[in-house]
A = this chain, B = another copy of it.
Amino acid sequence: MRPTVHDIAERAGVSLATVDRVLNDRPGVRGVTRAKVEGAIAELGYVRDVAAANLAKSRVYPLAFILPEGDNPFMRGLEDEVRRAGVHSMVERTQLSVVTVPAFDGRALAREIDGAIERAVAGIAAVAVDAPEVLAAIGRAREAGIPFVTLVSDLANSGRDHFIGVDNIAAGRTAGSLMGRFLGERPGPVAVLAGSMRVRDHGERLEGFLAAMSAMPVSRAILPVLEGQDDPELSFGLIAKCLADVPDLAGIYSLGAGNRGLVKALAAAGAARNLCVIAHEVTDETRAALEGGLVDAVLNQDAGHEVRSAIRVLRAKADGLPVIAAQERIRLEIFIKDNLPSEPGADDTPGAAGN
């Protein structure tokens, strides 16, 4: 049997309450007493039973997720994952709420952050927009002692506690590397479809992509970036025009969320245009395109992992516990037709302890 607070109390010759004070380093313990208790803790190799502790606390942690609204499938997937996590969340004494705000709207995001602060949540996770209002709001959250994590798109200089998402520069490099290898000696320029260069993650992906492409043995022209605002119509138009204008186009890298328009344009062009296409995020559209051969590879960040990581990090911060960085790193997944997981399907489900 592993040691409990009782064992410590006995061994140190004090009461439970005192042991508890030392464990949670609360005031009201003499130095000598504290030392005795700490000695006992060390000798017995005590580790707190988190489950029991939480049970006793019966504290509940309301966490707020703020996501961009609209039909961006990845974001909707993230939202689904939050709700899914919500089902199991009571087990972990967390209470998840999701609010959506207009995409790319710094002011709206800031407003929601303030709203969450108002509601005295125990933590906030948000997809950051690069705007001064957001920086200020995050600052207010921090002043209020509310842990804040950025999700998917970071805002490093905001003082957020943690960023949960992939290394987007590496993601771009990976895309460039795969594109280069898949194309081989085949000639022709490559097009890049982005949402908006005003979002960090898109900019970083582009940066990595360009670096990897230029490091390839075969040098290749990269056409000016097409900004589709992650809008299906707009993206469709841009890609369709590009396909028409550039007959020898060899490949397309879609680094944003404009995949519905992209796929539509590709389908319209037909199989005659044998392009190498790489996109981001596994969604219904990209999955179908991958299976249908319209897209060659999809880079993905697992929304489920991200949500659960956000919850863990937020709870850890709320409890003043350390975050195991290695454990919270979100991997960049590569999918091709052959390793695509069959269903939407969830993933690990640590709750208390974890996969």
Q: Is A268 an interface residue (CB 8 A)?
A: no
**Could you tell me if B355 and A352 are in contact, using CB atoms closer than 8 angstroms?**
no
CB neighbours of A333 from chain B (8 A): 331, 333-334
Closest chain-B Cβ to A206's Cβ sits at a distance in Å of 15
Q: Which residue of B lies closest to A54 (CB)?
A: B51
Q: Is A24 an interface residue (CB 8 A)?
A: no
Q: Is A245 an interface residue (CB 8 A)?
A: no
**Could you tell me if A174 and B353 are in contact, using CB atoms closer than 8 angstroms?**
no
CB neighbours of A353 from chain B (8 A): 88-89, 91-92, 349-354
Q: Which of A35-43, A196-204, A220-228, A338-346 contacts B (4 or more CB under 8 A)?
A: A338-346
Q: Which residue of B lies closest to A169 (CB)?
A: B338
Cross-interface CB contact of A354 among B173, B181, B331, B355, cutoff 8 Å: B355
Cross-interface CB contact of A339 among B92, B327, B334, B341, cutoff 8 Å: B334
Which residues of A from 177 to 207 have beta carbons under 8 Å from B?
A: 177-178, 181-182, 184-186
Are A326 and B354 also in contact (CB < 8 A) when A185-B184, A336-B177, A338-B174 are? no
A4-B305 Cα distance, complex, nearest whole Å: 30
**What range describes how many residues of A lie at the interface?**
35 or more
Cross-interface CB contact of A347 among B90, B335, B355, cutoff 8 Å: B355
**Could you tell me if A55 and B51 are in contact, using CB atoms closer than 8 angstroms?**
yes
Closest chain-B Cβ to A232's Cβ sits at a distance in Å of 28
CB neighbours of A107 from chain B (8 A): none
**Could you tell me if A345 and B326 are in contact, using CB atoms closer than 8 angstroms?**
yes
**Could you tell me if A2 and B51 are in contact, using CB atoms closer than 8 angstroms?**
no
**Could you tell me if A92 and B181 are in contact, using CB atoms closer than 8 angstroms?**
no
Cross-interface CB contact of A349 among B47, B174, B354, cutoff 8 Å: B354
**Could you tell me if A337 and B177 are in contact, using CB atoms closer than 8 angstroms?**
yes
**Could you tell me if B341 and A329 are in contact, using CB atoms closer than 8 angstroms?**
yes
Are A338 and B51 also in contact (CB < 8 A) when A308-B355, A350-B353 are? no
Q: Which residue of B lies closest to A172 (CB)?
A: B338
**Could you tell me if A348 and B336 are in contact, using CB atoms closer than 8 angstroms?**
no
A285-B54 Cα distance, complex, nearest whole Å: 43
CB neighbours of A335 from chain B (8 A): 334
Are A350 and B339 also in contact (CB < 8 A) when A90-B47, A91-B50, A334-B334 are? no
A97-B261 Cα distance, complex, nearest whole Å: 53
**Could you tell me if A351 and B352 are in contact, using CB atoms closer than 8 angstroms?**
yes
Q: Is A99 an interface residue (CB 8 A)?
A: no
Which residues of A from 221 to 264 have beta carbons under 8 Å from B?
A: none
A91-B186 Cα distance, complex, nearest whole Å: 56
CB neighbours of A54 from chain B (8 A): 51
Instruction: Name 25 interchain pairs, CB-CB below 8 A, sorted by A.
Output: A50-B91, A52-B55, A88-B353, A91-B353, A171-B339, A174-B338, A176-B338, A177-B336, A178-B336, A181-B182, A184-B184, A184-B185, A184-B186, A212-B338, A308-B350, A312-B355, A326-B346, A327-B349, A329-B345, A331-B341, A348-B350, A349-B350, A349-B353, A349-B355, A350-B353
Residues of A within 8 A of B (CB): 2, 47, 49-52, 54-55, 88-92, 170-171, 173-174, 176-178, 181-182, 184-186, 212, 296, 304-305, 308-309, 312, 324, 326-327, 329, 331-339, 341, 343, 345-355
Besides A177-B338, A332-B339, A353-B353, 4 other A-B contacts (C-beta < 8 A): A55-B55, A174-B336, A176-B338, A348-B350
